A and B are shown apart, each in its own frame.
Chain A
């Protein structure tokens, strides 16, 4: 659980982030100069939230309140992840370190950190953040500066890079543990319902994700409680 192991483990996330944030840079360069777009990525480090935020900033009628509410609901899942991660960190991961490193709680960094067998130390988590942060920021900058040179066919294809990374995190766990498989299928079914059931289609995307995750995880916990503590789940599965 050293800093350098964290840096090494963070490499694939950093590479993936470069591709995803490249498409954010392209989208942002339509409204702002490249350094202002890059600054959004450097201060937020969030995918869906930034894309939504950019739309609100670009909309002439967008308000600060709307920005606060949209950001809150789209990124509320990070609070769930922060709670979950707090159960997995080493005892000496103190308040100051937590304040400093909280920005690193992203979908992928968090998922990789909690899937470690041993408790997560502050050094390891800091190392894990380094390359994703650099990848996310530099990818945005590269996209904003030279994105318009690339043909639309390529930028269209880059759009699924983020989802590809999600699949790479979820599928191995589904294969290893039947109860995770069931929970994931419930979450997907719920997600389809929000998309296609007319009565539910007015719910915002961020809110829908939270409800789906809550319902699926609660059902999972009720019907398939884990035999061991979460830190042993990987070994058991």
Chain B
């Protein structure tokens, strides 16, 4: 790809992403009164992240087994009070063990 095309692609991608964030953020100045919509917005972060994680995590590694176990390990670590990085490390180590060591043993 030539440099000109790269920069047009970059500008399209960055521009669309920025506008999606900035336009609603700037336009909504008042508080939403409706209890229904306030509840809806309170649920959004968690439902978005959940839908992004499952089932995508099962297909993000070399084997489905390591993906499933990584999710299970992450949930257990999180329930035990591990923070953002701790849980991520546990998930990565699980995949490392399953996909890295398993083939060596069998």
Cβ-based interface call for A183 (8 A):
yes
| B window 25-59: CB within 8 A of A | 25-26, 28-29, 31-32, 35-57
Q: Is the CB of A221 within 8 A of B43?
A: yes
A-facing mask of B73-98, CB < 8 A → 1, else 0? 01101110011111111111111100
Q: Is the CB of A212 within 8 A of B47?
A: yes
Q: Is the CB of B26 within 8 A of A81?
A: no
A interface majority secondary structure: helix
Cβ-based interface call for B105 (8 A):
no
A168/B88 contact (C-beta < 8 A), A191-B50, A217-B44 known:
yes
List, in ascending order, chain A residues with CB within 8 A of B31's CB: 87
List, in ascending order, chain A residues with CB within 8 A of B6's CB: 32, 36, 57
Q: Is the CB of A174 within 8 A of B38?
A: no
Whole-angstrom distance between the Cβ of B61 and the nearest chain A Cβ: 6
List, in ascending order, chain A residues with CB within 8 A of B44's CB: 80-81, 84, 213, 217
Sorting the interface of chain B by its residue count into under 10, 10 to 19, 20 to 34 or 35 or more gives 35 or more
Q: A-B contact count, CB below 8 Å?
A: 280
The listed residue (A36, A46, A111, A164) touching B74 by CB distance below 8 A is A164
List, in ascending order, chain A residues with CB within 8 A of B92's CB: 19, 157-158, 160-161, 164
List, in ascending order, chain A residues with CB within 8 A of B51's CB: 187-188, 190-191, 208-209, 212-213, 216
- For the complex, give the distance between the alpha carbons of A195 and B51 in Å: 11
Q: Is the CB of B9 within 8 A of A64?
A: yes
The listed residue (A13, A157, A162, A174) touching B100 by CB distance below 8 A is A157
Whole-angstrom distance between the Cβ of B101 and the nearest chain A Cβ: 9
Q: Is the CB of A217 within 8 A of B47?
A: yes
A195/B55 contact (C-beta < 8 A), A159-B95, A160-B70 known:
yes
Cβ-based interface call for A90 (8 A):
no
The listed residue (A43, A153, A225) touching B10 by CB distance below 8 A is A43
Cβ-based interface call for A233 (8 A):
yes
List, in ascending order, chain B residues with CB within 8 A of A32's CB: 1, 6
Number of A residues contacting the other chain (C-beta, 8 Å)? Answer: 99
The listed residue (B60, B70, B74, B100) touching A168 by CB distance below 8 A is B74
Whole-angstrom distance between the Cβ of B86 and the nearest chain A Cβ: 8
A153/B28 contact (C-beta < 8 A), A12-B85, A64-B8 known:
no
List, in ascending order, chain A residues with CB within 8 A of B42's CB: 84, 226, 230, 233
- For the complex, give the distance between the alpha carbons of A161 and B38 in Å: 31
Whole-angstrom distance between the Cβ of B76 and the nearest chain A Cβ: 9
- For the complex, give the distance between the alpha carbons of A183 and B44 in Å: 9
The listed residue (B1, B17, B60, B79) touching A160 by CB distance below 8 A is B60
- For the complex, give the distance between the alpha carbons of A220 and B48 in Å: 13
Q: Is the CB of B10 within 8 A of A39?
A: yes
4 A-B pairs besides A75-B20, A191-B51, A224-B39 with CB distance below 8 A are A43-B13, A160-B61, A192-B54, A213-B44
21 A-B pairs within 8 Å (CB atoms) are namely A12-B85, A15-B84, A64-B8, A80-B44, A84-B45, A153-B99, A163-B60, A164-B89, A164-B92, A166-B50, A167-B74, A183-B47, A187-B47, A190-B51, A208-B51, A217-B47, A218-B40, A221-B36, A226-B42, A230-B42, A233-B42
